Structure 1
Amino acid sequence: MSAPAPALAAPAAARAVEEAAGAARPIGLEEVTARAELLTRFDRSYLVPADTFVRVMARLTDPHRPGGPFRALTIDDHRAFGYHSVYYDTPALRSFHDHRQGRRLRFKIRERVYQESGERQFEIKLKGRRGDTVKRRRPLTGADAPLDDPCQAFLAATLREAYGIEAPEALTPSLSTDYRRATFVADGERVTCDAGLLCTDLRTGRTVRCDDGLVLVETKSAGHLTETDLLLNDHGVRPAVFTKYCGAYAALRPALPANRWRRAAHRAFPDGAGHPDPGAPGPRRPWARAPVAYGTMHA
């Protein structure tokens, strides 16, 4: 009888995120909301090699850090969580192109699923007057869906209030993202750390997967540069011109005019677009909804 095959080691980025979260002191969701909900904030993104990530997080979570260590979001003994998001856009990808052109009145629309709990949120991410990110959200329950009338009314009211514009028509699912996330929190600051990012073009079924050795780190605060930003800079890591939505499309659809994201997208997705995913819904198939989670969590 042959010996069982050895278990495959977890990719470096996923292992680094799990180990950093496991070594940090815990913090509950209610305290995260009280200390650093940050629905209006400044964001910076970084593509961080796993070994560098380990060193940076060891500094931030050090119990002797002045002001206290960053702590890891912990829910039911879990410190890393599965996130699933579906983005909605027009057939002509208005949201993508508004971001590409740097339009002041730009927004993203998505359904977010927190997979451990099954909680779902309909979210609208806006760009504030100071260049900050402003998030509006509406919980989804039962058979609620983002294209239903209540969500579309919420979208219309949000865009009229924030920008004085009408909501786009003919929205359809455009892109899905899946990844594992750990969140580290200090007063007024959050650091989200994502591994295993998989992006699927829901209109073609093509996929891209992030380099297994990179952690996507996002700093979120009410101000500009944070201690985490400065520490990453000290380790030679510079901010990346990268968002999951636009960076994925830069890799999935090379013909799109996406030069501003191309360099970071090539680094994040070095293998480029994969073959169509047989399990991904095509343009004529309804989106099969997945479970979604912790409603006060962020972007």
Structure 2
Amino acid sequence: MRAAAPVSLDEVNQRAALLARFDHSYLVPADVFLRLAGRLTDPGRPGGPFRALTIDGRRTFRYHSVYYDTPGLRSFHDHRQGRRLRFKIRERLYEDSGERQFEIKLKGRRGETVKHRRPLTGPGTPLDPCHQAFLAETLRHAYGIEPPAALHPSLSTDYLRATLVADGARITCDAGLTCEDLRAGPSVHCAGDLVLVETKTTGHLTEADRLLHAYGVRPAVFTKYCAALAALHPALPANRWHRAARRAFGAHGR
């Protein structure tokens, strides 16, 4: 990663913003991740190397997210059941810059992730009337449904992220993941020798996906929100996330 050429945030947004994209998640052993990063950032790579997002000389950045859900965890259960009209609602804080965003993640007609976002300023939260109006407008326009009547902070996540970028492709690499239940208090921590790698592209498979498959790493049925809740609450019906949650969070992942 340190040898990778830098790329600015403005250029990332121009070349690979990918607010509508296909995502694949992998729980990658640290040694395999270093081999993957070396291959992708190799200056001799056909088509040019992936570059590392760099801001003020930094290549790793602290992220804090708060997910919002209904008292009955509608968002969690809609994802568990694979409903097409499903969504996640979160506040994201980029800790190193102080920037905050209100984000709504939807599923498009082809199964792609579609992200809608707007800035949060001052003491504003996603529960403020103006942001709830944005949520309502987004859900009505995309899905023709009404927003949830009640939302509460459900789960927080903290991690360190590095991002690799090429034209039309972005790879996020998250380490030190900690997830805390904001309703009951317990937390889980991802194994220190794993990196959560997510490939994001307008197509279905990237070079990174193919390299990981060649290294024997298969896609994981894993989202931070759902896998963490599955690990924190054994009584929740969450069979689809059990294997990945167990690998990520150890005994807490059942």
TM-score (norm 1): 0.84
User: Could you say which residue in structure 2 is the equivalent of 1:281?
Assistant: none
User: Could you say which residue in structure 2 is the equivalent of 1:7?
Assistant: none
Whether 2:188 is the aligned partner of 1:208: answer: yes
Superposed CA offset, 1:136-159 (max 9, x none): 001011121110000000000000
Choose the corresponding residue for 1:223, options 185, 203, 226.
Answer: 203
User: Could you say which residue in structure 1 is the equivalent of 2:238?
Assistant: 258
Q: Secondary structure at the match of 1:268?
A: helix
Shift of 1:78: 0.6
Q: Superposed, which structure 2 residues align to 1:48-197 within 5 Å?
A: 48-197=28-177
Superposed CA offset, 1:163-191 (max 9, x none): 00000011000000000000000000000
Question: d(CA) in 2 for partners of 1:23 and 1:122?
Answer: 33
Whether 2:219 is the aligned partner of 1:239: answer: yes
**Identical residues among aligned pairs (%):** 74
Q: How many correspondences in the alignment?
A: 253
Q: Secondary structure at the match of 1:166?
A: coil
Question: d(CA) in 2 for partners of 1:253 and 1:271?
Answer: 12
Question: d(CA) in 1 for partners of 2:15 and 2:150?
Answer: 39
User: Could you say which residue in structure 2 is the equivalent of 1:42?
Assistant: 22
Q: Which amino acid aligns with 1:50?
A: A
Q: Secondary structure at the match of 2:252?
A: coil
User: Could you say which residue in structure 2 is the equivalent of 1:33?
Assistant: 13
Runs of 4+ in 1 over 2 A off after TM superposition: none
Shift of 1:271: 3.6
Question: d(CA) in 1 for partners of 2:208 and 2:97?
Answer: 29
Shift of 1:111: 0.1
Question: d(CA) in 1 for partners of 2:198 and 2:32?
Answer: 15
User: Could you say which residue in structure 2 is the equivalent of 1:3?
Assistant: none
Q: Secondary structure at the match of 1:147?
A: coil
TM-score (norm 2): 0.99
Superposed CA offset, 1:200-253 (max 9, x none): 000010000000000000000000011100000000000000000000011000
Whose Rg is larger?
A: 1
Question: d(CA) in 2 for partners of 1:225 and 1:114?
Answer: 28
* Structure 1 spans left out of the alignment, 5+ residues: 1-19, 274-299
CA RMSD of aligned residues (A): 0.7
* Structure 2 spans left out of the alignment, 5+ residues: none
